[in-house]
Structure 1
Amino acid sequence: MAKIAWAEACQLDPTLLSLTRFFDVPPTYAETLAGGLTNRCWKVIAPHKGSFVWRPITELTKAFTISRFQEYQILKAIEHDMIAPNAAYINDQGLLVEWVDGELFDDADFDIQIKTLVRIHLLDKKRIPVAPFNYTARVDHYWMQLDAKLKDEALVELYHQWRSAPALDPVELTLCHFDLGPHNLIKTPQGLSVIDWEYAGIADPRLDLAMLLTTENQLEPTNVARYCQLRDIDNIDGWVEGVKQWSIRVHIMALLWYLLAFQLRGDPVYEQQAIQIKENLCK
């Protein structure tokens, strides 16, 4: 992280100026935070108020259908559950959340991540005033933004084959994080804190479980069974099949995400990730 004087930081990112109303005394400095493509955030250190993370609204967040206002609503709804940082301030430039002081999660016990996901899924979704996640709408949004030159025959076929949600027995929707993993888990004296809720929404929990297991290379029936055990779910076979069906679509969303990231940023790393996913899906 690079420490930058507040005035200079505001010149680099004018959205920081919108925090003037929140801070009685201007912050001392800000630090750039390393993160993903859509997570170009700042750590803001202010006299008397402490440390915060500024999560701005940018053209990139819009391109990936990220709503800071929805993120704010979710964080406010679960602030008493002691699982996420508190939302401090929201405006039309971005979201300010409390800084979580701790260490990145580095425990090799994958069961802890499954337990954390279960904890999220058991939160009271009735308190969260957001519309349910729509898989097809999200895939279509990514697709429509892609340049025609990126849409080769194989990609077109994959898109049309997998753009619809799987036909599964319905389950109760839950709050889903959609980016759970060690990179978004902070160890604190009070326990684990989950950060970066920008993709979170109300959705089929089998999709969220498929995302975790797929991204962490843990897509095994035993892990699905463990999740079901923790939630007292009897239909384990049905959940194994549901997670399997959603895992394919997790790859489709990731493929389109990386292609759009490559289009917006031009970084060949994103293109290489997309090519690898497409090759695996075509097999």
Structure 2
Amino acid sequence: MARMSWHEACQLDSSLLSLDHFFKVPPSYAQTLTGGLTNRCWKVVLPNGDSYVWRPNTPITKAFSISRFQEYQILSAIESSSVGPKPIAVNEHGLLVEWIEGESLTDSLAFDDLLKMLLKVHQLDTSRVPVAPFSYTARVDHYWLQIKKELKTESYQSLYQRWRSAPNLADVGKVLCHFDLAGYNMVKTEMGNRVIDWEYASIADPRLDLTLSIMVFEEKPLEAVYRYCQLGEVEGVDDWAEGVLAWQPRTMMMAMLWYLLAYQLWGEAEYLEQAELLKSQLTVDDAPPQE
């Protein structure tokens, strides 16, 4: 993390200037936060030691269909649960949230602990979350339409067209989903594990959220589903297993497009390599998509 004076930080990122009226006393310094792919965020520290995270709006957040206002609404609705950071302020330039002090679980999170946190998130009351339900097809279409023609090879297009529709599944309800829950977005605190980076969160099929976390952890899908249902005393295991298996190729395709768009935006070879890897794993044959 690069540490610099508040004045220097504002020169680097003009969105920070929108906070000048919020703080009674100018911050002592700001630090760039590493780790986030779509969120180039700042840690802002006041003279009294209070710390915050500034999550700006950028062309990158727009490209990935991220709304800081939606993120603020979700964090406000679940604030009493203390699962996520407390939202402090939001404006057209970004979102200010509390800094959660603790130890990153990037390299030390057990899969059971991840499943327990997923269950906790999925069981939060969503009746006061004023956001529209997530649309898988709209999201992948949004990614695809922004990708330049020269990157849209025939193999990428075939996979996109094959998996762009949501599966027809038994209804298990819609819940709050984080959509990027892994160790790198969890912090171990004195009060227990907490979750950060809610920019992709929405109301959706919990099996989609579970599938994404299974993919990051590289766990066996069926074993992971059974463990999730066991820990959460969730009934209808077959519907959950069928759902995760149906979402699996679709989440891979969505991630493939995400990496392809990220490569277009940043030009870093590692993103294209990830897109190519996912493409190779999604073998196209003449069989119809699994529903």
Relative to the length of structure 1, the TM-score reads 0.98
Conserved? CA contact 2:85–2:97, under 8 Å: yes
Cα displacement string for residues 214-237 of structure 1 (whole angstroms, at most 9, x for unaligned residues): 111013312201211233222112
Conserved? CA contact 1:181–1:212, under 8 Å: yes
Task: Specify the code of the residue in structure 2 equivalent to 1:96.
Answer: L
2: distance between equivalents of 1:92 and 1:49?
26
1: distance between equivalents of 2:235 and 2:85?
33
Tell me which residue corresponds to 1:79. 79
Q: List runs of 5+ in structure 1 lacking aligned partners.
A: none
Q: List runs of 5+ in structure 2 lacking aligned partners.
A: 285-291
**Bigger mean CA offset, 77-86 vs 104-113:** 104-113
1: distance between equivalents of 2:123 and 2:12?
41
Tell me which residue corresponds to 2:97. 97
Conserved? CA contact 1:210–1:219, under 8 Å: no
3-state DSSP of counterpart to 2:116: helix
Tell me which residue corresponds to 2:200. 199
Deviation at 1:82, TM superposition (A): 1.2
Tell me which residue corresponds to 1:282. 283
Tell me which residue corresponds to 2:173. 172
Seq. identity, %: 55
Q: Does 1:25 align with 2:25?
A: yes
How many residue pairs align between the two structures? Answer: 283
3-state DSSP of counterpart to 1:161: helix
2: distance between equivalents of 1:215 and 1:24?
42
3-state DSSP of counterpart to 2:194: strand
Tell me which residue corresponds to 2:289. none
Task: Specify the code of the residue in structure 1 equivalent to 2:104.
Answer: L
Distance change in 2, residues 1:170/1:139 (3 Å):
same
Deviation at 1:193, TM superposition (A): 0.8
Conserved? CA contact 1:69–1:95, under 8 Å: yes
Conserved? CA contact 2:45–2:52, under 8 Å: yes
Cα displacement string for residues 24-58 of structure 1 (whole angstroms, at most 9, x for unaligned residues): 01101100100233110000001237000000000
Task: Specify the code of the residue in structure 1 equivalent to 2:48.
Answer: H
2: distance between equivalents of 1:82 and 1:108?
19
3-state DSSP of counterpart to 2:282: helix
Relative to the length of structure 2, the TM-score reads 0.95
2: distance between equivalents of 1:214 and 1:241?
16
Deviation at 1:108, TM superposition (A): 4.8
Deviation above 3 Å: which 4+ runs of structure 1? none
Q: CA RMSD in A?
A: 1.1
Tell me which residue corresponds to 1:237. 238
2: distance between equivalents of 1:271 and 1:13?
27
